Structure 1
Amino acid sequence: VPASFADASTLVIARLVIHMVQNIVAINDPLPPPSPSALTRFHSRAPPNISIDAYIIRFIKYAHIHPTILISFLIYIDRFCAHHPHFALSSLTVHRFLCASVVVGCKAWNDIYSTNGHYARVGGVNLVEVNALELELLFGLSWQVISSDAILQEYYTQLVESNPDFSFV
């Protein structure tokens, strides 16, 4: 893959992010369930019927997200967990967290973005819930939704180095 995230294709970044997220979920799924006071809007009662990779590809196809938004999803996970140490990305939280991250990321990084109604349809979540998820994420990130190119590059480098199927050219 190219040395710079800015030169990598959306599908390459998607494969890297999917690999990382699947690993995180596999680590967190066996953990005991959170206490009721630790539940967030991102928690669902049961995992959705769509796989993580299919869900990410769906957002790429229908919400036209680009590499910066995909990498920002991982940054948002780290930032949210720093403020909410009892939160774990799992099969019960990953889909809603991704949906909220797409909404927030598209608004932060794109001059032109879709409506929350569009993101709700793509994500299979109703509009009221998407609005609430967006606010929960924004407040959980203390509204820090933009990252420098250096941070984006750092995350990209870590993604490539942690995936045995990829290397820099």
Structure 2
Amino acid sequence: MAELENPNLMPKLITFLSSLLQKVADSNDLNRQFQPQKISVFHGLSRPTISIQSYLERIFKYANCSPSCYIVAYVYLDRFAQSQPALPVNSFNVHRLLITSVMVAAKFMDDIYYNNAYYAKVGGISTIEMNFLEVDFLFGLGFRLNVTPNTFHIYCSYLQREMMMQQPPLNLAESSINLGKSLKLHLCFNEDEPSHQQQQLAV
């Protein structure tokens, strides 16, 4: 089991992923002034008042999904960003993308998971909206839900290495900018493994 899958390290991972997504959202908010961005079902009419970290902590508290789900959700967000360049992660859509990616990851990874109505309550949205978000997210991914063990461990190693560079853990500014650029510019990892060799990641 990868070290990041240790439940004791989850608070640090949640903090790190929150900081990363905040940097990405802030950067793309600025880019909205210069680059046209599509409006999607993930966009709210206004920025949510809850912070990304508080929102992700809420998901972690109530979703009860395995630690692996958060790594896989990160993979999905990266894939979504790569396949939907006109829909970059920003402060208007990051919360809905988060709840959707974690829910889809839990369904794919875990033997037991909550239904869409429960995740809608956790995310503060309606069940109908949650259903629409799931469908759009799946099509945005091109239904590429499988994460090979190799890809999973590459992402784990990358996140773990960047997290270890943080001293103290809450001082995430510098390397989060680097990680944010990786996610925003779609340069994280090469996933060109042959599809016939792919297998579902065991947890």
Note whether the superposition's TM-score is higher than 0.5: yes
Distance 1:96 1:113 in 2: 19
Taking structure 1 as reference, are residues 66 and 11 closer, same or farther at Cα in structure 2, changes over 3 Å only?
Answer: farther
Distance 1:65 1:18 in 2: 17
Q: Cα offset for 1:3?
A: 6.5
Segments of structure 1 that go 5 or more residues without pairing to the other structure are none
Q: How many residues align?
A: 165
Distance 1:14 1:146 in 2: 23
Q: Cα offset for 1:19?
A: 2.3
Identity %: 30
Taking structure 1 as reference, are residues 3 and 105 closer, same or farther at Cα in structure 2, changes over 3 Å only?
Answer: closer
Taking structure 1 as reference, are residues 142 and 79 closer, same or farther at Cα in structure 2, changes over 3 Å only?
Answer: same
**Which is higher, the Rg of structure 1 or of structure 2?**
2
Taking structure 1 as reference, are residues 148 and 5 closer, same or farther at Cα in structure 2, changes over 3 Å only?
Answer: farther
1:48-87 pair list within 5 angstroms: 48-87=48-87
Taking structure 1 as reference, are residues 105 and 115 closer, same or farther at Cα in structure 2, changes over 3 Å only?
Answer: same
Which string of whole-angstrom CA distances, capped at 9 and with x for unpartnered residues, describes residues 43-73 of structure 1?
1111111100000000111111332111122
User: What TM-score do you get using the length of structure 1 for normalisation?
Assistant: 0.87
Q: Aligned-pair RMSD on alpha carbons?
A: 2.2
Q: Tell me what 1:136 maps to.
A: 136
Distance 1:128 1:98 in 2: 17
Distance 1:153 1:16 in 2: 17
Instruction: Supply the AA of the counterpart residue of 1:11.
Output: P
Q: Tell me what 2:166 maps to.
A: 165
Distance 1:3 1:114 in 2: 25
Q: Cα offset for 1:162?
A: 3.0
Q: Tell me what 2:125 maps to.
A: 125
Contact 1:83 1:140 in 2 (8 A): yes
Distance 2:114 2:154 in 1: 28
Q: Cα offset for 1:166?
A: 6.3
Contact 2:104 2:134 in 1 (8 A): yes
Q: Tell me what 1:26 maps to.
A: 26
